[in-house]
Amino acid sequence: MKKIIIAASIVGLTSALLVTAQENKSEQPSTSGTAPEHRVLKPSDLKWGEAPPGLPAGGKMAVLNGDPTQAGAFTVRLKASAGYQVMPHTHPTAERLTVISGKFSVGMGEKFDKAAMQQMGPGAYVVLPAGIAHFAKASADSIVQIDSEGPFQINYVNPTDDPRNAKK
């Protein structure tokens, strides 16, 4: 009986310590040194700029949350005109993509294959696991939201497809 009481006390104490540690952790500021902030962004608040050099020219990007160049979670939106395409590539982290507007197609594999692509409309969602080759094309003017972990990296299957390797 005495052993049961001691064991129950240890379990209870351990649970209390874990709960306290978790509460303290959630009260700590984020790793950037600032506390998380409440933010509401309307479409008119977005600041669109050129897509990063690893993506084809012509795309526009807006950062909604985080910093894609730094470690940690980030959310961006990519604005792509009809015909915009990203050749087969991988990322070292998972990518979660939501179609906000337009018609956006995604295919899996190391070769761009239009027949293998799935066209998605507004509200469609796809999870692209880390290290899995995929490709994309906007068949109409589109906006897609991308959630991932930084720093953002894109590795093209065929180096000649990488816009950063284009001859100037």
- Cβ atoms of 71 and 148 within 8 Å: the answer is no
pLDDT of residue 16 exceeding 70, the answer is: no
Look at residue 19 in the predicted model and tell me its pLDDT: 33
pLDDT at 61: 96
pLDDT at 75 over 70: yes
Domain that holds residue 54: 43-165
Based on the fold, state whether residues 102 and 30 are members of the same structural domain: no
**23 and 65, same domain (yes or no):** no
CA dist 138 and 142 (Å) reads 6
- CATH number of the domain that 50 lies in? 2.60.120.10
Rounded mean pLDDT, 109-136: 96
Q: Residue 27 half-sphere exposure, CB side, CA atoms within 13 Å? A: 6
The pTM of the full predicted model, rounded to 2 decimals, is 0.75
- Mean pLDDT on 37-64: 92
Higher pLDDT, 58 or 6: 58
Residue 20 is predicted with a pLDDT of 33
